Amino acid sequence: MTRALFGFLLSLMIVSTGPVAHAQTESETPEWRIVIHGGAGVITRDKLTDEQEAAYNAALEVSLKAGSDVLREGGSAVDAVQAAVLTMEDDALFNSGHGAVMTAAHEHELDASIMDGKNRDAGSVAGVKHVKNPILAARAVMDQSEHVMFAGQGADDFAESVGLETVENSYFTTERRKKALERVLDTQSREDADRHGTVGAVALDKDGNIAAATTTGGMTAKAPGRIGDSPLIGAATYAQNDVCAVSATGHGEYFIRVGVAKTICTRVELAGDSIAGAAENALGQVAELGGDGGVIVMGGDGQYAYVFNTAGMYRGMSDSTGAMETAIFEAED
């Protein structure tokens, strides 16, 4: 059986067996590859206008191009995931930097993490309010400190001390998120979109290294100080060469309790699961606890999967073969 046929049969099997997985796998080994997500949720055609759909696809392409430019030039996987996440942090469509959701205290508290599969170095920040690009702060924690994680004011102070741009908290605010906060505070209930929109990337570089990165604003009207899964290595982000790289999006409380990203990589490494099968297992555990969301996963060989138990996930892939795809709804795979 050819590898391509095996991959095709595998994807059919995954779609038909699980209550949670909508997976796509591809078995060619590219020289380099990047896969991204911009959040998962009840994203159905009736919820987006044609213009909004086009805007999301365009924004995903900008992110893929930023990561691909790094990888094409021989840059590292960790630089590529950082570059891809950076463009989404700057785009108000996504719940990460500018355009992030607001806390119940009418502020923004952002979380981010990054991991280099080559040496399993990692960095993260939680609850930052002033560093313009949280993923750069996470990277600086990894590269320029002896620690893995900084939180709150100390994280913002650290980011400023290494020369990163800081902004007023209001820089992150948009009318859309203000209205969402007012609605949640008025109704005391969150819609699906209020809990989703995290961004992330996984990549394979020409040297065979893989990496992962994730950034979020969390959930609308979250309690000040609440931290989700996105800054937690092993929950939303994990990367280990020759095993897998994962970035997750979803209801953080459940992803933390399952340890989604590390669970996936451990199943791949020790149980011999496919990357899609391992992701399906982890998301099945999330669903059992009552949560939802999705992951992008890259194997050590560049094979990739999108797996989500929601109606849609903003996602995309580009690689050294010239392939570039973006998708939003469940049925596009």
Q: Which residues face 149 on adjacent strands? A: 124
Tokens of 71: 């990888």
Count residues binding ligand GLY (CB under 6 A).
11
Residue closest to 300 by CA, chosen among 250, 328, 265, 329:
265
Question: 34: closest CA among 278, 320, 312, 319?
Answer: 319
Nearer to ligand GLY by C-beta: 103 or 249? Answer: 249
Residues 268/25, Cβ–Cβ less than 8 Å: no
Nearer to ligand GLY, 65 or 226 (CB): 226
- Binding part of the chain for ligand GLY, among 17-25, 45-53, 212-220, 318-326 by CB under 6 A, reads 212-220
In the complex with ligand GLY, the residue whose CB is nearer, 216 or 266, is 216
Give the binding range for ligand GLY (CB under 6 A) out of 69-77, 117-125, 249-257, 304-312: 249-257
Q: For ligand GLY, which is the closer residue by CB, 75 or 252?
A: 252
Nearest to 304 by CA among 291, 315, 292, 293: 315
Q: What is the distance between the alpha carbons of residues 216 and 195, in angstroms, rounded to a whole number?
A: 10
**Toward ligand GLY, which CB reaches closer, 14 or 219?**
219
Out of 124, 209, 249, 320, the residue judged to bind ligand GLY by CB under 6 A: 249
Q: Examine residue 228 and tell whether it contacts ligand GLY (CB under 6 A).
A: yes
Question: What CA–CA distance (Å, rounded) separates 234 from 214?
Answer: 12
Provide the mask over 173-202, with x wherever binding to ligand GLY is found by CB under 6 A and - wherever it is not.
Answer: -------------------------x----
Q: Which residue has the tokens 């365009």?
A: 58
Active-site pick, 198, 215, 237, 326: 198
User: Which residue has 């050819």 as its token pair?
Assistant: 2
Q: Is 229 in the site for ligand GLY (CB under 6 A)?
A: yes
Q: Which of 252, 277, 299, 316 binds ligand GLY (CB under 6 A)?
A: 252
Q: Residue 321 Cβ, how far from ligand GLY at the closest point, in Å?
A: 31
d(CA 150, CA 141) in angstroms, rounded, equals 7
- Is 250 among the residues that bind ligand GLY (CB under 6 A)? yes
Query: How, if at all, do strands 110-116 and 121-128 pair?
Result: antiparallel
Amino acid present at 91: D
Cα gap 293→324, rounded to integer Å:
23
**Residue 133 near residue 97, CB atoms below 8 Å:** yes
In the list 219, 246, 297, 311, the residue contacting ligand GLY (rule: CB under 6 A) is 219
The reply to whether 198 belongs to the active site is yes
Residue 28 corresponds to which amino acid? E
Minimum separation from the CB atom of position 293 to ligand GLY (A): 7
The rounded distance, in Å, linking the Cα atoms of 202 and 191 is 28
Name which of residues 4 to 63 contact ligand GLY (CB under 6 A): none
The region of 133-141, 157-165, 176-184, 222-230 touching ligand GLY under the rule CB under 6 A is 222-230
Nearest distance in Å: CB 252, ligand GLY? 2
Among 25, 124, 215, 216, binds ligand GLY (CB under 6 A): 216
- Residue 97 near residue 172 (C-beta atoms within 8 A): yes
- The answer to whether the beta carbons of residues 239 and 117 sit under 8 Å apart is yes
Which member of 200, 218, 259, 294 binds ligand GLY (CB under 6 A)?
Answer: 218
Give catalytic residue positions. 198
Q: Which residues bind ligand GLY (CB under 6 A)?
A: 198, 216, 218-219, 228-230, 249-252
